[in-house]
Amino acid sequence: MRAYNTTNKTHDAAPAPNVPVPSSTYDDLALLKRPELARVINVSPRTVDNWQKQKRIPFLKLSARCVRYHLPSVLAALRRFEIREAGR
C-alpha cells in the first residue's frame, strides 16, 4: 500500500479574479472550467455555454462531459467582436 503526502499541497490554485486579466498574467497552458472562465471574463456560465454553441469561442472537448477553455485563445476570439468607434 502506498502512503500519500496530503500536507504538501502544491496544486492549490487561487480563485480567478472577477475582472478581465491580460493573458500574460495567466499560465499560457492553463485550461479553465466553464465557471472559472465565466468569472474571469465577467459573464454568466450560461453565456459561456451559448458562445460555445454559437462557436464564438474556442474550446477543448476532452470527453462527452468535460470541456475546457484556454483563456488567451478565448480572449483573442472575443476581440473579433469588439466594436471600435470610427474616426477616433
pLDDT digits (tens, 9 = 90+) for 22-34: 555 556 678 999 9
- Residue 68's pLDDT is what? 97
CA angle 11, 68, 8 (to 5 degrees): 5
- Please state the pTM of the whole predicted model: 0.64
The DSSP annotation for 6-70 comes to -S----PPPPPPSS---TTTS-TT-EE-HHHHHHHHTS-HHHHHHHHHTT-S--EE-SSS-EEEE
If pLDDT is split at 50, 70 and 90, which confidence band does 20 have?
Answer: low
Position 87 scores a pLDDT of 74
